[in-house]
Amino acid sequence: MFKYLMPTKVICGENSLKENKNELILGTRCMIVTGRTSGLKSGALGDVTEVLKEKGIEYVIYDFIGNNPTIEECYEGGKRAKEAGCDFLIGIGGGSPLDATKAIAVYAVNDMDMYEIFEGNFKNKPLPMAAIPTTAGTGSETTPYSILTLHKINNKQSFSHPDVFYKVAFLDGRYTVKLPLQVARNTAIDAMSHLLEGFTDKKASRGSDYIALEGLRIIGKYADNLKMGNFTVDVCTNLLWAASLGGIVISQTGTTIVHSMGYALTYYKDIPHGMANGLLLGEYMERANKVMPEKVKLAMDALGMSIEEFKAFLKECLPCEVSFTEEELIKWSEVSIKAKNVPVCPFEVTREDELEIYKKCLL
Ligand code: NAP
Ligand code: FE
């Protein structure tokens, strides 16, 4: 038996917003949630405001979302959306603004303590949301997850709820074609990580596996573009679709230890999320290969690489100058072994195993 849920309408293709303007209008008054620069740099903010003006929809812009959004930024956004009387939200940006939009949608209609959001039992249905991703990585536009930075616990923590799926997502490579190369690589590797973790996860099913393989085939096809840094709008639209497929996959399966171990690298060392995963992903696939060689072969064939070639690809795409100490790795493994992603890992993993993975990948 397996369950499959994917309630988001995805509109994928060049000019997907301009040709489907009515789909963006989910209410009468809107808050646009975006990063400090991504909305403007991608061109998506200009396109969205043009549509809202044309349709006579009033809007406010909340462009204070930083990388790895904090719970405080989202709580404040919720307060402002409520004060402005907004009844729908549009998230524009990478995973950070898209995740923040989900939390803001909850806070805007619920009088609740900031931390209660992690309990997932809010009384009122979150505001409806539209997503415009400007990175091709997290797949947040097709997941019910929001990952927030929580300084209280010195880590990132996620909440998940079926009511925070976006109603609609517009995927258009025009918004990612000018991404800085390292951001494009990091985010594509995050998408690979979702597809590979989801495919090898104990919760993987027929409902997720064929989607994961399709996503891997697409990214594999454009591996050279990621290495060389040459992108067209069409390539970028395809990479956005692959990232959304990664989101669909992890919506069914969740992620495994690559993600839970990666959070410490981001929190303590400011390593971008996708790069953090990528530093650990090769070793993870080696270990998965020991317990499920046939499945790993399917995944690698879809990517068009052997595990060795995949590791070389990751190394080439992820120059990381950060240094780590054994003490740090010991501390992080003590925390990450308690994550809920651990039991779904395809191989047995103890704190000592996680420490060994950290050491092998980072020292
Ligand atoms: P991000 O933090 O959203 O953005 C990274 C950087 O890229 C930011 O500086 C951003 O600028 C910039 N940027 C974004 N789009 C751009 C564009 N088109 N042109 C130029 N610059 C652009 O990175 P991300 O990797 O997409 O998202 C990471 C976050 O998503 C993490 O918090 C991670 O935990 C979360 N995540 C969520 C899920 C999920 O299922 N919900 C899954 C995986 C990861 P601005 O600062 O101006 O925005
Ligand atoms: Fe991720």
pLDDT in tens, 66-76: 999 999 999 99
Q: Is residue 161 part of a domain?
A: yes
Q: Is residue 157 part of a domain?
A: yes
> Is the CB of residue 349 less than 8 Å from the CB of residue 342?
yes
- Among 91, 138, 100, which residue's Cα sits nearest to residue 274? 138
Take atom 13 of ligand 1 and give the residue whose Cα is closest.
38
> Is the CB of residue 94 less than 8 Å from the CB of residue 137?
yes
Give residue 297 CA to ligand 2 midpoint distance, Å.
22
Q: Is residue 69 part of a domain?
A: yes
Give residue 22 CA to ligand 2 midpoint distance, Å.
30
**Which residues surround ligand 1 with Cβ inside 6 Å?**
35-38, 41-42, 67-68, 93-97, 99, 134-135, 137-140, 143, 145-147, 156, 175-176, 178-179, 183, 187, 190, 247, 273-274
pLDDT at residue number 97: 98
> Is the CB of residue 320 less than 8 Å from the CB of residue 275?
yes
- Helix ranges (DSSP H) in 112-180: none
Together in a domain, 206 and 168: no
Cα of 324 vs its chain's centroid, Å: 25
Mutate to test the pocket of ligand 1, among 42, 63, 98, 135 (most ligand atoms within 8 A of CB): 135
Q: Is residue 4 part of a domain?
A: no
Together in a domain, 37 and 154: yes
- Residues 190-215 as b or e (16 or more Cβ within 10 Å = b): bbbbbbbbbbbbebbeebbbebbbbb
- Select from 117, 147, 174 the last residue of a domain: 174
Give the position, in ligand 1's atom list, of the atom nearest the Cα of 41: 19
Take atom 19 of ligand 1 and give the residue whose Cα is closest.
179
Mutate to test the pocket of ligand 1, among 74, 96, 252 (most ligand atoms within 8 A of CB): 96
pLDDT at residue number 62: 98
- Among 216, 343, 242, 322, which residue's Cα sits nearest to residue 275? 322
pLDDT at residue number 120: 85
Query: Which residues constitute the domain of residue 256?
Result: 180-362
List the chain residues with pLDDT less than 50: none
Together in a domain, 26 and 145: yes
**The whole model's pTM is what?**
0.97
Q: Is residue 3 part of a domain?
A: no
Mutate to test the pocket of ligand 1, among 34, 37, 145, 165 (most ligand atoms within 8 A of CB): 37
Measured between alpha carbons, how far is 242 from 246 in angstroms, rounded to an integer? Answer: 6
User: The CATH number of the domain where 66 resides is what?
Assistant: 3.40.50.1970
- Select from 153, 174, 195 the last residue of a domain: 174
Together in a domain, 70 and 127: yes
Together in a domain, 142 and 254: no
pLDDT at residue number 296: 98
Together in a domain, 357 and 244: yes
Q: How many domains does the chain have?
A: 2
> Is the CB of residue 107 less than 8 Å from the CB of residue 76?
no
Tokens 């040709």 belong to 19
Measured between alpha carbons, how far is 306 from 311 in angstroms, rounded to an integer? Answer: 9
- Among the bound ligands, the one closest to the CA of 135: 1
pLDDT at residue number 75: 98
Take atom 4 of ligand 1 and give the residue whose Cα is closest.
94
Together in a domain, 141 and 236: no
φ and ψ of 325, to 5 deg:
-110, 160
pLDDT at residue number 45: 98
Together in a domain, 124 and 200: no
Q: Is residue 39 part of a domain?
A: yes
**Number of residues that make up the chain:** 363
Together in a domain, 164 and 277: no
- Select from 174, 191, 206 the last residue of a domain: 174
Question: How open is the CA angle 141-220-275, to the nearest 5 degrees?
Answer: 60
Tokens 């000592």 belong to 352
> Is the CB of residue 248 less than 8 Å from the CB of residue 139?
yes
Mutate to test the pocket of ligand 1, among 183, 185, 255 (most ligand atoms within 8 A of CB): 183
Give residue 177 CA to ligand 2 midpoint distance, Å.
20
Q: Is residue 2 part of a domain?
A: no
Give the position, in ligand 1's atom list, of the atom nearest the Cα of 35: 48
Together in a domain, 170 and 184: no
pLDDT at residue number 121: 84
In the structure, ligand 2 is a single-atom ion and the residues with CB under 5 Å from it are 190
Together in a domain, 86 and 231: no
Give residue 290 CA to ligand 1 midpoint distance, Å.
33
User: The CATH number of the domain where 293 resides is what?
Assistant: 1.20.1090.10
Q: Is residue 127 part of a domain?
A: yes
- Among the bound ligands, the one closest to the CA of 247: 1
Give the position, in ligand 1's atom list, of the atom nearest the Cα of 251: 40
Together in a domain, 250 and 170: no
Give residue 196 CA to ligand 2 midpoint distance, Å.
11
Measured between alpha carbons, how far is 63 from 146 in angstroms, rounded to an integer? Answer: 18
Give residue 357 CA to ligand 1 midpoint distance, Å.
26
Measured between alpha carbons, how far is 236 from 175 in angstroms, rounded to an integer? Answer: 9
